[in-house]
Amino acid sequence: YLPDVAGALAFMYNLTGNNGQQIRNLVLSYKTLEDIFSGRITNWDDPEIQAINPPAVAANLPNQKILSVYRADASGENYLLSDYLLHMDPAGFEAYQGAMQVEVGQPAATWPTLQGGVTAPPGYPGWADGDLQGENGSDQAANFVSASSSDGAITYVETAYAKEHNMPVASVVNASGNSVQ
């Protein structure tokens, strides 16, 4: 017998809108996710994020830094996200892998990050500004994002972690153009 476990990857976030209320209906796409977790998009009110959200959400997005929380340890979540991005935008994600000086074109259990002594290449301002935070384990990533001091943070974890912390997860635009959980 071989036990098997499956869980959906969710994009848990902590974001207060311009109206002072927690945003609970954020929509992201593979491209915005790639740009957020690579450090290309650094602000919540970025036009790329505003364009895919309903008008009420887009107008409520704050001019606030995004704190992208990636898994610093080897994990299935890193593998799933890198595999997804390689399937959705091979050239874009491979360019990011190359900029981080890691193996290009293959999903990996470790998130592509800057290695010691390597400076952030042009086009990835989040790395230069320190807007990406590594956390070991889903518990740590979820705890970090759900903390009241982490307004503006987003991570990718198995859905149960977001539910456990009563945090919203972004809907993602699928191939047919619908946003789904």
pLDDT truncated to tens, each residue of the chain (181 aa)? 666 667 789 999 999 999 999 999 999 999 999 999 999 999 999 999 999 999 999 999 999 999 999 999 999 999 999 999 999 999 999 999 999 988 999 999 999 998 777 788 888 998 888 889 999 999 999 999 999 999 999 999 999 999 999 999 999 999 999 999 9
Answer for the pair 33, 87: CB distance below 8 angstroms, yes or no.
no
Single out the residue of 155, 113, 131 nearest to residue 13, CA to CA: 155
Give the end-to-end CA distance of the chain in Å, rounded to a whole number.
32
Structure tokens at 130: 């320190």
Q: What angle do CA 68, 72, 77 make, to 5 degrees?
A: 80
pTM (two decimals): 0.94
Single out the residue of 176, 147, 178, 172 nearest to residue 159, CA to CA: 172
Q: Is 136 helix (H, G, I), strand (E, B) or coil?
A: coil
The pLDDT score that the predictor gives to residue 128 is: 84
Q: At 171, phi and psi to the nearest 5?
A: -80, 150
Q: At 116, phi and psi to the nearest 5?
A: -45, 130
Alpha carbon distance 10, 146 (integer Å): 14
Single out the residue of 49, 67, 64 nearest to residue 130, CA to CA: 67
If one counts every other C-beta atom within 10 angstroms of the C-beta of residue 24, the result is: 13
Residue 171 host element (H or E): strand 171-173
